[in-house]
Amino acid sequence: MIHYVYILKCADGNHYTGIAKDLKKRLEEHHNGESSSTSYRLPVALIWFCGFITELDAVRFEKYLKSHSGRRFRDRFLSD
């Protein structure tokens, strides 16, 4: 099973970084306002995602992207 780390661009201009086993379903939840983290920042747009073989690797990369250096990496290499 693939574990996805993804980045959304929210209507307020901020980013949301998340992890999902079923990326399509998770994106539908975001778009339908079913995620408390993004429901008040709609619409959202997927700007980047990456698949990992192990959940541990995905969790570690998501945690990195949420760190100060990870946000700088995101802004330099992964954002639109």
The CATH number assigned to the domain holding 57 equals 3.40.1440.10
Number of domain units in the chain: 1
Q: Max CA-CA distance within the chain? A: 33
* Gap between the Cα atoms of 29 and 54, Å rounded: 23
Q: What is the pTM of this model?
A: 0.95
State how far the alpha carbon of 3 is from the alpha carbons of 29, 50, 53, in Å: 17, 8, 6
Print the domain residue range for 18: 3-78
Residues 26-79 have pLDDT tens digits of 999 999 999 999 999 999 999 999 999 999 999 999 999 999 999 999 999 987
3-state secondary structure (DSSP) of residue 19: strand
**Closest C-alpha among 44, 20, 46 to residue 32:** 44
Report CA torsion sign: 70, 75, 36, 4: negative
